[in-house]
Each structure stands twice: as C-alpha cells, then as structure tokens.
Structure 1
Amino acid sequence: MTHQIIQPDGWVQAKGYANGVLTEDGTLYTGGQIGWNKDQVFVAKDFIGQMEQVLRNILDIVEAAGGTAADVVRMTWFVKDKKEYMAHQREVGEAYRRVFGRHFPAMSMLVVADLIEDEALVEIEATAKITKA
C-alpha cells in the first residue's frame, strides 16, 4: 500500500512527523494539530483563538489533500483545561462553525496533563475520507 505525505503550501516543514498522510483508499490522517500558524508561531494565547487556529490547520491539510470540511469523519481533541473548555461552550461552538460550518464528525475529547509544546492549550487530530472524482 502506498501513501502520500500531505504538507500544505507555505507551511514550515514538520520535523519528525507528517502533518497529513493520505492513503490510496482516500483516507487522510492528520497529525495532531496545535494552535500555531503555518510558521509555527502561536499568535493566539487564549483557548478559543488556539482552537480556531487548530481547526483552520486541519482544514488546510484536508484541502491540500483535495478534500473539504465535509470529508472529515472523525476528530480527537486533547485539552489541557477542562474547566476552560466547559466555561466557553458558546464561543467554542461559534469558532467551530466559523471553520467547519455545521458539519459535525464523530468526536472524542480527552483532558490531558500537558502537551509537548508549552504554549499549546489544545491539540486535535482528524481523519477524513476523500473521494476523488
């Protein structure tokens, strides 16, 4: 089985991992995305800002593989602060819809003690099924 590494144009090259891997059956797996931009800089320091950036990063990878938000079938969220997430449910929903509209894939959320990048507040990985016409 062959696969293709997906790296959106203009992004700093990932080191030690792939931002996305597209298999020949059209399944796209994203690496865990955090709230930094294409230059690996954290512009947002708050949870909602980082969450929205993470979702934009995922969508950039999906689009680079030839897909759309509607092709995302699963997301796994890793958050450092459950209380922060729960206290901002309305803002979470608004930020989510700005990026993914009303497409809601299967999701899981895990509360974790920490993430590798100290500034990261949330990490999300996604799976998409992309069918080429």
Structure 2
Amino acid sequence: MHRTLQPDGWSRPRGYANGISARGRQIHVAGQIGWNAQQQMVSDDFVAQARQALRNIVEVLACDGATPEHLVRLTWYVTDRERYIASGAALGEAYREILGRVYPAMSAVQVCALMEPDALVEIEATAIVPDEPL
C-alpha cells in the first residue's frame, strides 16, 4: 500500500509520518471545513469542526472507493495556533474516531482567516489507492 519514510537517526514524529512513498491512483481532496452536506457549520467549537472536516474527507474518498488507510498527506489550516495546541487530546480522539490509526505526512499552518468566515479549520487531503494487480 505505502511505505513510511523515516531517516535514520531522526526521532519518531508523534501522530504523523515524515514522508510516505506510494504508487497508484491519486485522489486530491480540496480543503474541507466543519460544515455538513447542506453547507451549514456544525458548531463554533474547533474540535467539532475538525471532526466534521475529517468526516467530509472520508466521504469524498469513498466516492472513488478509497478509505482513510489510503491517505498519504493532510494539510491543516488553522486560524488559531493556540486553540489547535490546547485541543490536542480531544483533537487526537476525534482524529482516531474518524480516521483510525492512520498517520500520513502532515503539515499544520496558522492562517489569518479562511474563506468561510465561521470556519476555524480547513483540511486538505491526498490519498493514493494502490494499482490493481494485472
């Protein structure tokens, strides 16, 4: 499926991979925020929005037969770094609830705002589904 890339001598990262190597069909998921299928924000709570954004990613992946295990990259855009850090335990719980024990390459970036005024987090995803054997 994929191989985690971890340079010799580097400390193991917590909750993500430094790199992933994979071959197959690529799926690129646009930034997902904490709204439902009717584009209504589910909450003004950071973790609730992140949970919904992750659910949205899983639903988009399913449209092409992919699952969280196929994720190779997540990029998180957060409007408040301190809130992101303070939410660590609850965020980890929500992450495992939706994605399981999947640890793709990840980046988190603080931004001054997102396009939807009530959004606190936006998450982009890349998945690679292995090629079918011939």
TM-score, normalised relative to structure 1: 0.79
Superposed CA deviations along residues 79-107 of structure 1, whole A, max 9, x for unmatched, are 00001011111001000000001111100
Matched, 1:128 2:99: no
Superposed CA deviations along residues 6-39 of structure 1, whole A, max 9, x for unmatched, are xxxxxxxxxxxxxxxxxxx510001111110111
Larger radius of gyration: 2
- Inter-partner Cα distance in structure 2 for 1:96 and 1:90: 10
> Does the 8 Å contact 1:47/1:121 carry over to 2?
yes
Residue in structure 2 matched with residue 77 of structure 1 by the alignment: 76
- Inter-partner Cα distance in structure 1 for 2:66 and 2:86: 32
Query: Residue type matched to 1:52 in 2?
Result: R
Structure 1 vs Structure 2 CA RMSD: 1.0
Query: Residue type matched to 2:50 in 1?
Result: M
Deviant stretches of 4+, over 3 Å: none
**Residue pairs, 1:39-118, within 5 angstroms:** 39-118=38-117
- Inter-partner Cα distance in structure 1 for 2:89 and 2:45: 15
- Inter-partner Cα distance in structure 2 for 1:32 and 1:59: 12
- Inter-partner Cα distance in structure 2 for 1:113 and 1:90: 24
Unaligned runs of 5+ in 2: 1-23
> Does the 8 Å contact 1:30/1:61 carry over to 2?
yes
Superposed CA deviations along residues 21-73 of structure 1, whole A, max 9, x for unmatched, are xxxx5100011111101110012110000000000000101111111110010
Cα displacement (A) at 1:132: 5.7
Query: Residue type matched to 2:76 in 1?
Result: W
> Does the 8 Å contact 1:66/1:132 carry over to 2?
no
Secondary structure of the equivalent of 1:31? strand
Higher relative contact order (CA 8 A, sep 6+): 2
